[in-house]
Amino acid sequence: MTFHIGAKPGEIAETVLLPGDPYRARWAAQTYLENPVLVNEVRGMLGYTGTWRGHRVTIHGSGMGMPSLSIYANELMQDYGAQTLIRIGSAGALQHHVKVRDLVLAQTASTCGSPSRSIFRELNFAPCADFGLLMAAHAAALKVGVPVHVGGIFSSDTFYDERPDLSDQLQRHGTLCVEMEAAELYHLAARHGRRALAVLTISDHMLTNEALPADQRETSFGAMVEVALEAAFA
């Protein structure tokens, strides 16, 4: 048990999927895991452990933004021994060829600032995904038949954007999408020698203003969960 996770020793699997929304964690666990058991509900951040094709898996909410994810990822790695951590979440497209409902696999994650920034001081450390997970996820996406893009993303530390000039430069430099957590996950995985990947579903488009209706989000997010699970145990 830690400050933010009430699970007992042994109740967290070595493979953890991290949606930001705790209710999405519950949905994913009840939909894709066999015999999911609630192992955490401290502060309403739900975590479930079950099995997928005989493999133990925990699906645990991480909250919104890098500071929140940093708390849960740190405790999962250092106190519960998580070895493979895959963020599953939504993102906003920054390129015209990236469409709503497409998947993005974050090869790298740029950011203006994260909880890890103070460690590196003047160094602009470039965190990246685990290459084995990245390859396996790409193969899984092709198998599932969902459009998939691999490349750099932007992890924002603000939800309401007031920097159109920054968005313009991100688009100019080929950044695929924007979300709020992956860069810190990649920093922490590098620091602790763990495997990490972000598998993202495009839920809205920053250029066209198209957005996925709320009633279609769960079904559209299913492919993302399947790809993450396939990649974790490839």
The string of pLDDT tens digits covering residues 83-136 is 999 999 999 999 999 999 999 999 999 999 888 988 888 898 999 999 999 999
In a domain, 6, yes or no: no
20 is in an annotated binding site: yes
| Contact between 137 and 201 (Cβ < 8 Å) | no
Which contacts of 38-46 are long-range, i.e. CB under 8 A and separated by 24 or more positions? 39/6, 39/7, 39/8, 39/11, 39/12, 40/5, 40/6, 40/7, 41/6, 42/4, 42/5, 42/6, 43/4, 45/4, 45/5, 45/72, 46/22
Per-residue pLDDT averaged across 198-205, rounded?
97
217 is in an annotated binding site: no
In a domain, 107, yes or no: yes
In a domain, 8, yes or no: no
Pick from 83-87, 101-105, 162-166, 206-210: least confident: 162-166
Number of structural domains in the chain: 1
Per-residue pLDDT averaged across 12-21, rounded?
97
Q: What is the CATH number of the domain that holds 47?
A: 3.40.50.1580
Nearest to 129 by CA among 162, 176, 170: 176
In a domain, 5, yes or no: no
Pick from 52-61, 95-104, 158-167, 223-232: least confident: 158-167
Residue 204 bears catalytic tag? yes
pTM recorded for the entire structure:
0.96
In a domain, 225, yes or no: yes
Quickly state the pLDDT bin for 70 (edges 50, 70, 90): very high
In a domain, 7, yes or no: no
In a domain, 2, yes or no: no
Active-site residue (options: 21, 161, 168, 204): 204
Quickly state the pLDDT bin for 1 (edges 50, 70, 90): confident
191 is in an annotated binding site: no
Domain ranges, residue 99: 15-232
* Residues ≥6 apart with Cβ < 8 Å to 166: 112
In a domain, 138, yes or no: yes
43 is in an annotated binding site: yes
24 is in an annotated binding site: yes
